[in-house]
Amino acid sequence: MKTRKLGNTDVELSVIGFGTWAIGGGNWGMGWGDQDEKDSIAAILEGLDQGINWIDTAHAYGFGESESAVGKAVKEYGGEVFVATKCGVLPKEDRSPYRFISRKTIFEEVEGSLKRLQTDCIDLYQIHWPEPQENVEEGWQALLDLQKEGKIRHPGVCNFFENELNRAESLGHVTSNQPQYSLLDRRIEPDVLNWCREKSTGLLTYSPMHSGLLTGKVSREWYESLPSNDWRKHKKDHPVTKHLQEPNLENFLDFVENLKTIAAESDYTVGQLAVAWVLSHSEVTSAIVGARKPGQIVETAQAAEWELSQDELDRIENACSEFAQNVK
């Protein structure tokens, strides 16, 4: 597996990271359906065997369930694994998530994460969302202080744009930023890409396959078959799931067929194309992809070997432009 340097650190991360959002189970409001922990551990171990050397998780993913599975998998693996987790999404009484950062809550959260991950120091600790906005400096200073205390090695952020990045950077260097980035979500172009390059901040992008929409497996039947506790099924007004609703669905399926044609010519899948496209941007350190059971990550990991040609990039861009013109 190819690696890229994480910002200005000496850490070399595999260009594909193992994402664990989907293994948090279905009982927390943004879950992907019920999950067997044995499957989660087996999938993680398979990813590590494929050469992936880092795992991304969060307290929010099942409010501890994902971190616990990661801790068990890394212990069973026994080798060196770079583990990143997040703070700043807390459970309401009904276990639905809400975003909140403060010094007090972050210091409380990190203790739980350390315990579940079975470690005394977290490799990369990230603010999950910059909310509330007025607490960005307070939250970032909390991470800098945790670094000084030796509880975390590197402080990072997620879902930060230029304004929040500048506010954090003024207090101390932002090791990494983790935004969503895919063919269907390009909000970080060009400002965040440029900012991370200029500041030597690592860029760890999540959902390159846009939460499963760019796997090539989406159909009306696929969508109907999703369990009721899969967030993609019950959050119909979400920016991601809008493509699954009429009148957008037909246009979206046509777009995927165009991508499928491009990918097939090089013996790859749409999912692999989506990941390879994200990695074609030199600013990106690593693309985070998820897996819920053995067999899934093996296919996706092959995207690391595909360097898209300029002709392929141009054809993908044309397909995206045509698709965007028809989105309602």
Q: Which residues are catalytic?
A: 61
Asked if 74 contacts 55 with a C-beta cutoff of 8 angstroms, the reply is yes
Alpha carbon of 37 to those of 42, 43, 56, 109: distances in Å?
9, 10, 16, 22
Which amino acid type is present at position 122? I
Measure CA 214 to chain center. 14
Among 249, 239, 264, smallest CA distance to 315 is for 264
Among 69, 65, 68, 61, smallest CA distance to 87 is for 61
Which amino acid type is present at position 306? W
CA distance 328 to 248: 6
End-to-end CA distance of the chain: 39
